[in-house]
Amino acid sequence: MGYSARRGFSSGSMKATGAQRQAEVQQKIAQMQEAMNTVQEEVEARSFTASVGGGAVEAVANGRKELVSLTIKPEAVDPEDVEMLQDLVVSAVNEALRQAGEAMDKAMDGITGGLGLGGLGI
């Protein structure tokens, strides 16, 4: 056992200083951020498809929540009922975007353990 005027008696094992702990935390945060970036890129590269009206309208969105394609079968086009077609399009697009958002949230929760760090910009 040794004695130091600063640390008092010690058993030879040195505890991490505040600066060392901070460096470790910063390193862990950097690793988490790198993992999040990788997962984000993977999800953004995926496609999410939603089909409504028995397949009459199909929307495809990417993981960046951008509409990539929209397919409308001719039988879905009824000049007498434009509102129904509009509803089908909105429904298909919203479902594809919801799937993309849900996939991103699930991927991020897998890394952060559900900490909800989105507000921190991480």
pLDDT digits (tens, 9 = 90+) for 44-63: 999 999 999 999 999 999 99
Per-residue pLDDT reduced to its tens digit, 92-109: 999 999 999 999 999 989
* Residue of 44, 63, 66, 60 lying closest to 92 (CA atoms): 60
Q: Which residues are CB-neighbours of 48 under 8 A, at least 6 positions away?
A: 60, 61, 62, 63, 96, 97, 99, 100, 103
User: Is 121 part of a structural domain of the chain?
Assistant: no
Q: What is the amino acid identity at position 69?
A: S
Helix count and strand count (H, E) for the chain: 2, 5
pLDDT surpasses 70 at 30 = yes
User: Is 24 part of a structural domain of the chain?
Assistant: no
What CATH number does the domain containing 54 carry?
A: 3.30.1310.10
Phi–psi pair at 7, nearest 5 degrees: -100, -10
Mean pLDDT across the chain: 87
User: Is 54 part of a structural domain of the chain?
Assistant: yes
Banded pLDDT at 6 (limits 50, 70, 90): low
- Record the pTM: 0.70
Find the domain containing 59 and state its range.
Answer: 49-109
Are the CB atoms for 91 and 70 separated by under 8 Å?
Answer: no
User: Is 56 part of a structural domain of the chain?
Assistant: yes
Banded pLDDT at 19 (limits 50, 70, 90): confident
